[in-house]
Structure 1
Amino acid sequence: MRKETGRRGEELAALYLSRLGFEIVERNYRCRWGEIDIICRRGNLMVFVEVRSKSTERFGTPEETINRTKVSRIRRTAMEYLREKAAGRPFNMRFDLIAITFQKGQGNIKHIKGAF
């Protein structure tokens, strides 16, 4: 159930970002430091997106589930991605959080730009 909620959340987040005019460059990028759910770009802005999804807010909101350790891993993973795949190309970068709560089959999106 949790895995399915997470997968649905990532699909919804990618669609949402595409509608905002972002090009989805990579999904579920992994390296030795960790994973980034979505990497997208618009112009010279590269955005590294963490997606958090929950089916209920009973034990807190999706955005409350991210901690310092996860933020550190995302940052290190982003640096590795840039070194590996975008070396020499100038980009502005941003780290966003997309929090999705599913209620009655609908996904409610909260997009926090520059979350960390």
Structure 2
Amino acid sequence: MTNLPPSHYPNIGSLGEDLVAQWLQSTGWVIIHRRFCCRWGEIDIIAEHAGGGEEIRRWGDGEIGETTPTNLPPHYPTLPMAHAHSILTFVEVKTRSLGSWDAGGRSAITPQKQAKISRTAGIFLAQYPEKADYSCRFDVAIVYYQESKKMTGVTAQEALATSSAAGYQFRLQEYIPAAFDCLIDNDNG
């Protein structure tokens, strides 16, 4: 049997990211960047979920309060907060075969990897300052794959989403919102 060139094999990681991006879009997220790269690293998916365009009221001590309760008198000043409830998520996608050595990719997200993602997110926000007032979080998506002809193990009903491509079946098995917290330093630019 001859070995085929690397270009013959599908990019499994990209196909897993495609599934996650499609699932995010189906749940109301807007994909604003894929495979954002800088000198610090790469972020697989950057997605945005817009807030409800709500207003908040300024309370007596000058602090910004919670979303406007309906029982407040109309003389309280309102402040439009277009991005007050918008979320920007930096998604790390781990695509692995069933039974992988690193717990489906979870153990590959070391503190060092988290720091790289955080630095890269800081670079992104420096390049797109209009996104700087969004709430940010770091999510992790776990995708399993196997050859379509060897379909066994986890059933499609247990997966959040499934797809087939290049002779493989992909399953988004787990999506972990706010999987880790990092401080984003906007002075990296």
Say whether the fold is shared (TM-score over 0.5): yes
Task: Give how far 1:27 is off.
Answer: 0.3
Q: How much is the aligned-residue C-alpha RMSD, in angstroms?
A: 1.9
> Structure 2 length normalisation: TM-score?
0.57
* Aligned partner of 1:7 among 14, 24, 29: 14
Deviations 1:77-108 (A, max 9, x none): 00110011135741001100001111432414
Instruction: Please list every run of at least 4 consecutive aligned residues from structure 1 whose deviation after the TM superposition is greater than 6 angstroms.
Output: none
For structure 1, the residue ranges without an aligned partner over 5 or more in a row are none
Identity %: 32
1:1-116 matches, within 5 Å, as 4-43=11-50, 44-59=86-101, 60-87=103-130, 89-103=132-146, 104=151, 105-116=169-180
Structure 2 contact 40–119 (Cα < 8 Å) conserved: yes
Change (3 A) 1:102 1:88: closer
What count of residue pairs does the alignment treat as equivalent? 116
Relative distance call for 1:13 and 1:108 in structure 2 (3 A) is closer
Q: Radius of gyration: which is bigger? A: 2
Superposed CA offset, 1:36-57 (max 9, x none): 0000001111000000000222
Q: What's the secondary structure of 1:28's corresponding residue?
A: strand
Superposed CA offset, 1:11-42 (max 9, x none): 00100110110000000001111110000001
| Partners of 2:172 and 2:44 in 1: CA distance | 18
| SS of residue paired to 2:179 | coil
Amino acid at match of 1:112: I
**What TM-score do the two structures reach when normalised by structure 1?**
0.90
Q: Which moved more, 1:42-51 or 1:97-106?
A: 97-106
C-alpha separation between the residues in 2 aligned to 1:88 and 1:15? 22
The structure with more helix, counted as a fraction of residues: 1
Amino acid at match of 2:119: R
Distance 1:3 1:114 in 2: 30
